Amino acid sequence: MIGINTIKFIRSLRLKKNRRLDKKVILEGFRLICESINAGIKIDYIIVIENFESDLLNQKQFRNQSIKYCSKNNFHKISDTKNSQGIIAVADIKKYSNQSLDEIKNNNLVILDGIQDPGNLGTIMRTSVWYGVNSIALTHNTVDPFNLKCMRSAMGAHFYLNNIIQDDYLNIINYLKNNYKNIYVADMQGENLNKIKSNGNWALILGSEAHGIKSDFKQFKQITIKKFGQLESLNVSVASGIVMNHLRNNS
Amino acid sequence: MIGINTIKFIRSLRLKKNRRLDKKVILEGFRLICESINAGIKIDYIIVIENFESDLLNQKQFRNQSIKYCSKNNFHKISDTKNSQGIIAVADIKKYSNQSLDEIKNNNLVILDGIQDPGNLGTIMRTSVWYGVNSIALTHNTVDPFNLKCMRSAMGAHFYLNNIIQDDYLNIINYLKNNYKNIYVADMQGENLNKIKSNGNWALILGSEAHGIKSDFKQFKQITIKKFGQLESLNVSVASGIVMNHLRNNS
């Protein structure tokens, strides 16, 4: 059974400043924890509610993991979800601290500017990993990628990424100019995506739905998804998938 | 200022059974309400918090609307979001009650089987409208499309749809067999989406991420989005966008 100090520690990780300080993150939910272990992340320990279905823990992912039990009452104190499955892990994110743009090494890159919804951010990270992107760069006004909701919607994508970088947008723009030939900005008034053929690696910039993309980013090639019906815009994570699917199949 | 009966009525609309009974739905948030009015839905009245920025109400969408004010204290009782913008509308959904599959008239159609996350459902509805789909059919084990969270993520898409139909999956399968030549199921083991060319209208079936698609639906052509990287699957709303983008650009 876990004690009061573990409960306090886990609750402290709900705050970004503590996640940064301790270089630890919370993973909640069975599938997220399995996917994260598959991705090779180091799990410090896993906490399960006292009546947790023990069959699930027989899966190969849970061999050699440190499993701790927790009373129902205490589990509610550490859980962040309404209908919790009763399983939480604490994982190490030291790997992602103090990373710089120079570590990206000119692979396909996704840049996110000012995305505030952690569910969207996580879904874009998941989509990026599906399309073989292994680095993400976020401007400082983007939500923290280690936010609990972002972790849940990313489904372990974090741990397949080599680089999760947060930097000033001007540094990101400089880096792009010096390292990429194909730089695309998803926007409402750009060239039809269907006409884009990228030779070699690319960088894709996506902005917030509410505020759009910073004007400084508009110096790069703006591309637009063709609309066939109504409504002003697509959800940004859906747009990210459509653009990445096109770029990967046409480069 | 609104009274206790209005507060009680709005709170009652959080429950599916009351929404069905009264044929009313709650719209919360400025952008959602604007988009819904653009789409032509009938708004009964709009409630704004007492200190609501009056400039916003000068937009053309708000002319001829019935605007009621509400104290901060009472607004918290009717709001469903943490950081509310202080604006809620009650809209009429009589149009969507008792609709049947026969009303679809063989246009492009999206069928959703067992999608439980209202955010995903709303995002798929929004994406469908962007791609000019004007009917959606949902199996009975799918979350209620008039759920508040679904309304928010759909961004007014509901009201561009002619038909939002909930029916038994066997009825849906029969309807598809009798009316469509091109019926696609997004699944993990199907033909590469890039090879699909649909002549004429199509029906696209998407299932829940957790439970997959019902086996009865697998009699139709299974199609798969090509993976370039890692992770088991894409988010279902992202997948819906990638498939619809392909079908609309290749038919």
Give the distance from residue B3's alpha carbon to the nearest chain A alpha carbon, in angstroms. Answer: 31
Interface check for A56 against chain B (CB to CB < 8 A): the answer is no
Find the closest chain A residue to B240 by CA distance: A238
Q: Do B119 and A123 touch (CB under 8 A)?
A: no
The pLDDT value recorded for residue B211 is 85
Average pLDDT over residues A142-158: 96
The pLDDT value recorded for residue B192 is 98
The pLDDT value recorded for residue A206 is 98
Phi-psi region of B166 (alpha: psi -120 to 50; beta: other; left: phi over 0): beta
Q: Kindly tell me if the per-residue pLDDT of A197 is higher than 90.
A: yes
Interface check for A206 against chain B (CB to CB < 8 A): the answer is no
* Cα distance between residue B242 and residue A249, in whole Å: 12
Give the distance from residue A237's alpha carbon to the nearest chain B alpha carbon, in angstroms. Answer: 7
Q: Do B231 and A132 touch (CB under 8 A)?
A: no
User: How much is the pTM?
Assistant: 0.95
Q: Kindly tell me if the per-residue pLDDT of A25 is higher than 90.
A: yes
Per-residue pLDDT tens digits for A230-245: 998 999 999 999 999 9
Report the residue of A116, A149, A243, A245 to disrupt the B interface, i.e. the one with the largest count of B CBs within 10 Å.
Answer: A245
Average pLDDT over residues B200-213: 92
Give the distance from residue B45's alpha carbon to the nearest chain A alpha carbon, in angstroms. Answer: 23
Beta bridge partners of A184: A204, A221
Q: Kindly tell me if the per-residue pLDDT of A210 is higher than 90.
A: no
Asked whether A136 and B210 are in contact (CB, 8 A), the reply is no
Average pLDDT over residues A109-125: 97
Per-residue pLDDT tens digits for B114-140: 999 999 999 999 999 999 999 999 999
Of A11-25, A51-65, A183-197, B154-168, minimum mean pLDDT range: A51-65
Write down the mean pLDDT value for chain B.
95
The pLDDT value recorded for residue B45 is 97
Q: Kindly tell me if the per-residue pLDDT of B209 is higher than 90.
A: no
The pLDDT value recorded for residue B162 is 96
Average pLDDT over residues A143-171: 96
The pLDDT value recorded for residue A1 is 84
Average pLDDT over residues A157-185: 97
Our CA dihedral for B107, B108, B109, B110, rounded to 10 degrees, sits at: -160
Which residues of chain A are within 8 Å of residue B127 when distances are taken between CB atoms? 234-235, 238
Which residues of chain B are within 8 Å of residue A131 when distances are taken between CB atoms? 227-229
Q: Which two tokens stand for residue B208?
A: 């829940």
Nearest to B227 among A128, A130, A160 (CB): A130
Q: Which domains occur in chain B, in start order?
A: 4-95 (3.30.1330.30), 101-249 (3.40.1280.10)
Q: Please report, rounded to a whole number, the percentage of residues in chain B having pLDDT higher than 70.
A: 100
Please give the C-alpha separations between residue B93 and each of B7, B19, B98, B248, in angstroms, as whole numbers: 19, 9, 11, 29
The pLDDT value recorded for residue B98 is 87
How many beta-carbon contacts under 8 Å exist across A and B?
Answer: 118
Q: How sure is the predictor about B178, in pLDDT bands with cuts at 50, 70 and 90?
A: very high
Our CA dihedral for A226, A232, A235, A238, rounded to 10 degrees, sits at: -10
Find the closest chain B residue to A30 by CA distance: B210
Asked whether B215 and B122 are in contact (CB, 8 A), the reply is no
Report the residue of A231, A250, A251 to disrupt the B interface, i.e. the one with the largest count of B CBs within 10 Å.
Answer: A231
Q: Kindly tell me if the per-residue pLDDT of B246 is higher than 90.
A: yes
The pLDDT value recorded for residue A124 is 98
Q: How sure is the predictor about B34, in pLDDT bands with cuts at 50, 70 and 90?
A: very high
Nearest to B160 among A123, A194, A231 (CB): A231
The pLDDT value recorded for residue B251 is 80
Per-residue pLDDT tens digits for A50-81: 999 988 999 888 999 999 999 999 999 999 88
Number of other residues whose CB lies within 10 A of the CB of residue A42: 12
Q: How sure is the predictor about B84, in pLDDT bands with cuts at 50, 70 and 90?
A: confident
Write down the mean pLDDT value for chain A.
95
